[in-house]
Amino acid sequence: MENEMNIREINEADIDPIVSYWKDSPEAYLKGMGIDTSDLSRFDGMPAGMRAELATPYEEKATYHLVAEVDGEAIGHTYVNRVVFGESASVHLHLWRNAEKGQGLGSKMVALALPVFFDRLQLQKLICEAAAINPAPNRTMAKLGFTFIKTYVTVPAGWNFELEVSRWELSREAFEDLYT
């Protein structure tokens, strides 16, 4: 029997596990995601930023986190950053333990999160710029109906070093065709 997954907004109790995911991940794992590991003190500001996110109205959010639970246990998070309310955002997904990886849970987590992101932030487009060398998120985006746009070299976010990324996009129209 398949375990039941649900998605919910983060709360105060989720902040420490999310921060721990980042702070406790091996350096090689972080580098595989394109994270610049030269100054990991940037993680120290995460709790304050996430607390601020909790108090910010949807219309003003710069980031928005959701937690995935299986049978009531939190197993990972998906979030959007670079939010432009009513327009676009960049989506990310993270399973916290290796035991959950490779089972399709990342795809399921994002599939459940898509309606929340599109609805609450009134998005017209979701973007994912996954490290081109990391096959898992690229497979996930294809599986979920995102359109592959291009592969190119960029610094996709403030935590990243310059790397080759695969850009994927899902328009509101495509989302509605696929998921409603």
Domain residue ranges of the chain, discontinuous segments joined by +: 5-127
pLDDT for residue 15 is more than 90:
yes
Pairing of strands 125-131, 88-95: parallel
pTM exceeds 0.85, yes or no: yes
Query: Which of these ranges, 23-27, 29-33, 57-61, has the smallest mean pLDDT?
Result: 29-33
Number of C-alpha atoms within 13 angstroms, CB side, residue 161?
11
pLDDT for residue 158 is more than 80:
no
pLDDT for residue 42 is more than 90:
no
Asked whether 64 and 8 are in contact (CB, 8 A), the reply is no
User: What is the band of 144 on the pLDDT scale with cuts at 50, 70, 90?
Assistant: very high
**Pairwise pLDDT comparison (174 vs 35), residue with the higher score:** 174
User: What is the band of 32 on the pLDDT scale with cuts at 50, 70, 90?
Assistant: confident
Orientation angle between helical segments 172-179 and 105-120, nearest 10 degrees: 120
pLDDT for residue 99 is more than 60:
no
Predicted local confidence at residue 1, as pLDDT = 40
Q: Edge-to-edge strands of the sheet including 88-95? A: 5-9, 64-70, 73-84, 88-95, 125-131, 163-171, 147-154
Distance between CA 90 and CA 81 in Å, rounded? 5
Phi, psi of 145 (to 5 degrees): 95, 10
The architecture (CATH level 2) of 5-127 comes to: 3-Layer(aba) Sandwich (3.40)
C-alpha distance from residue 160 to each of 28, 30, 130, 151 (Å): 14, 10, 11, 16
